[in-house]
Amino acid sequence: MSRKQRVEPSGDLLEVSGLEVEAGGRTILHPTDLNLGAGEWKAIVGPNGAGKSTLLKALATLVPYRGSIRYRGRPISEAPLAYRSELGVVLHEPLLYRELSAWENLLFYARLYGVAEPHAAAQQALAEVGLSVYAQEPVGRFSRGMIQRLALARAMLHQPRLLLLDEPLSGIDARGEEEILKLFRRAKEAQVAALWVTHRWRVAWEIVDEIVELERGAVRRITRTAGVDRESWEPSYLEEGAR
82-87 long-range CB contacts below 8 Å, 24 or more apart?
84/60, 85/113, 85/158, 86/160, 86/161, 86/162, 87/60, 87/160, 87/162, 87/163, 87/164
What does 46 interact with, of Mg ion, ligand ADP, none (CB < 5 to 8 A by kind)?
ligand ADP
In order, the DSSP letters of 148-172 are HHHHHHHHHTT--SEEEEESTTTT-
What does 94 interact with, of ligand ADP, Mg ion, none (CB < 5 to 8 A by kind)?
none
3-class state of residue 124 by DSSP: helix
What does 136 interact with, of ligand ADP, Mg ion, none (CB < 5 to 8 A by kind)?
none
Cβ closer to ligand ADP: 28 or 157?
Answer: 28
Cβ closer to Mg ion: 53 or 198?
Answer: 53
Cβ closer to ligand ADP: 52 or 70?
Answer: 52
Range list of H helices, the chain: 52-59, 80-85, 102-112, 118-128, 144-156, 174-189, 201-205
Partners of 163 in the beta sheet?
Answer: 88, 194
Round to whole Å and give the CA distance between 32 and 213.
12
Q: How far is the CB of 216 from ligand ADP (least distance, A)?
A: 9
Q: How far is the CB of 110 from ligand ADP (least distance, A)?
A: 29
Site for ligand ADP in 99-138 (CB under 6 A): none
**Which range in 9-17, 47-55, 144-152, 223-231 contacts Mg ion by CB under 5 A?**
47-55
Round to whole Å and give the CA distance between 65 and 68.
9
Cβ closer to Mg ion: 10 or 48?
Answer: 48
Centre a 10 Å sphere on the Cβ of residue 174 and count the other Cβ atoms it contains: 6
198 binds ligand ADP (CB under 6 A): no
What does 223 interact with, of Mg ion, ligand ADP, none (CB < 5 to 8 A by kind)?
none
Residue of this chain nearest to Mg ion (CB atom)? 53
53 binds Mg ion (CB under 5 A): yes
SS3 content of the chain, % helix, strand, coil (to 5): 35, 25, 40
Site for ligand ADP in 16-75 (CB under 6 A): 23-24, 28, 46, 48-54
Site residues for ligand ADP per CB under 6 A:
23-24, 28, 46, 48-54
Site residues for Mg ion per CB under 5 A:
52-53
